[in-house]
Structure 1
């Protein structure tokens, strides 16, 4: 995070833990606001990799699961970067800018993913760089979000994953009533002050909770190389193309799609517990088997207490009647609906 921007947020009441914005002094109020109000948060828990150069589109098309050609000037899309075995190393949001493409992914993964992708540039005219400090990215969500963004000046994008310039910000409309604003660093304090008049400032965990409600998975260090994209429903949110051609893991991903039903799928669930589950925690189906029946993907405190999560679950575990956290006789997950259909 840009230190000048971090200092501004501290003055605005932000509390940090290991460099991550955790809350603005009243975590319970922020949890309630994310559920029923309009919140504003800094998105510096994500980093941005910039891809520039004449060959950047062709290069990324051969590396990522999504069809990079669909990331137009006015359209952002999800995608994944996989191993040759089709297991996801990272999930991301991708969009174009004046210099090429920007890939937003968890800050904890940025350095390793950037280094790995750079290894394959070879003689291509592509420059791969860390662009995290060049802009400030803000998230705003809730029933008052569109009106608040509109006050920055300009027409707010109306369709999901479309991009528009609104005042000083490049605005990406995400699913539902959520927007991401990409701003020059010098314009961020003014935008924050204008938006915060209409919103409750909140820590980054509230944005992650909204991703859980939207069924958008984020691969973290605890879940790298655990899932092929379809296990985490990535093709259901536009993150996989089955017609674009080769990329690392493409054969495995295609085989999973066309040669049989995916045996694991991602679901939204609630766990009533005083102990926070963690990404990578194992899940068990009901019955005598001691084998894992799934894995926690993402988790955050729920407004009603306990924790909401996204979890990849073996179909057979669902059919067994109950899914348990961490041990075969551990607490039972309560399955919740997703905003899209899981076949």
Structure 2
């Protein structure tokens, strides 16, 4: 039984790693993605996205540079094929290669009030600030907050830690809920090409640099930033729903009059009859009735950062 004071060792099979490797790996990504690859100094990661020329997000990820000629991208496993297609059409012109690293790493999550202490005793002391990382024997520990750590491990490391912490439990649902509470949305197959970075609050959490220069879709993204006025953005909601499978990414949101007011980004169960979700929703709709798929009533919840 999980409690608020427990520490949980989880398998994260819904996510995986891809690598961009080669002499021009960083230069290639710098000209393609929203975050500034130059900021991937040792110990620093960045959230980011690859957009199409219209500024619509094709892929979202967390990036860290493992070496001068390699950058790892952590993203939903369901987006590997889409990422290969999205970045692959441009990478052919660079001295770089894109690869699926699923076979080389095991993703684990450790969360709870004693997570930092236990991780330090078992493997290595993690970084202090969110988004920072440390490496140990070929694996990477990314700090998400003071009680949550994502572990990108070699097979040997995963076996050692599984013995130390006990066999991990399936953690996709719990990890997604924690991402929702942290306000971290992501692009999934159902929402590929639907959102701009601004709509998923990527500009609020360091996922877009307007000083780095050109990247695919940059003209549209920058125009929205400097001249546009957003009338909708991603919010956190609580929904009365006992079946989380009914809350699929891309599901429409409506008001009490049946007018479309938004799109679902992601959802996870938070109780026997409730789910929490992230959804892009019109600002003007927040005070009225919110329905997901004309069925599930939803109420706004707070995010850990401001969006206005």
Q: CA deviation at 1:167?
A: 6.6
Name the residue aligned to 1:236. Answer: 204
SS of the residue 1:247 aligns to: coil
Name the residue aligned to 1:25. Answer: none
TM-score normalised to structure 2 length: 0.93
Contact 2:210 2:222 in 1 (8 A): yes
SS of the residue 2:271 aligns to: coil
Name the residue aligned to 1:117. Answer: 87
Name the residue aligned to 2:217. Answer: 249
Distance 2:15 2:159 in 1: 19
2:240 equivalent among 272, 277, 292: 272
Name the residue aligned to 1:210. Answer: 178
Distance 1:243 1:207 in 2: 32
Distance 1:123 1:275, change over 3 A: closer
SS of the residue 2:128 aligns to: coil
Name the residue aligned to 1:334. Answer: 299
Q: CA deviation at 1:176?
A: 4.1
Name the residue aligned to 1:4. Answer: none
Distance 1:212 1:302 in 2: 10
Name the residue aligned to 1:89. Answer: 58
Distance 2:37 2:158 in 1: 29
Q: CA deviation at 1:187?
A: 2.1
Distance 1:36 1:279 in 2: 31
- State the Cα RMSD in Å: 1.9
Runs of 4+ more than 3 Å apart: 166-169
Q: CA deviation at 1:168?
A: 6.5
- Ranges in structure 1 where 5+ consecutive residues have no aligned partner: 1-28
How many residues are paired up?
305
1:170-227 superposed Cα distances (whole Å, 9 cap, x missing partner): 2111134111112211221111221339xx7343111111101111001111111111
Distance 1:196 1:313 in 2: 41
Distance 1:36 1:272 in 2: 26
2:226 equivalent among 258, 265, 270: 258
Name the residue aligned to 2:15. Answer: 46
Contact 1:278 1:299 in 2 (8 A): yes
- Ranges in structure 2 where 5+ consecutive residues have no aligned partner: none
Q: CA deviation at 1:59?
A: 0.3
Name the residue aligned to 1:136. Answer: 106
SS of the residue 2:260 aligns to: coil
TM-score normalised to structure 1 length: 0.84
Distance 1:303 1:109, change over 3 A: same
Distance 1:297 1:123, change over 3 A: closer
Q: CA deviation at 1:310?
A: 0.6
1:38-63 superposed Cα distances (whole Å, 9 cap, x missing partner): 21111232121111111111100111
Q: CA deviation at 1:166?
A: 4.8
1:123-142 superposed Cα distances (whole Å, 9 cap, x missing partner): 42111111111111211111
Contact 2:116 2:146 in 1 (8 A): no
Give the stretch that moved more between structures: 239-248 or 297-306. Answer: 297-306
Matched, 1:152 2:152: no
Distance 1:336 1:282 in 2: 18
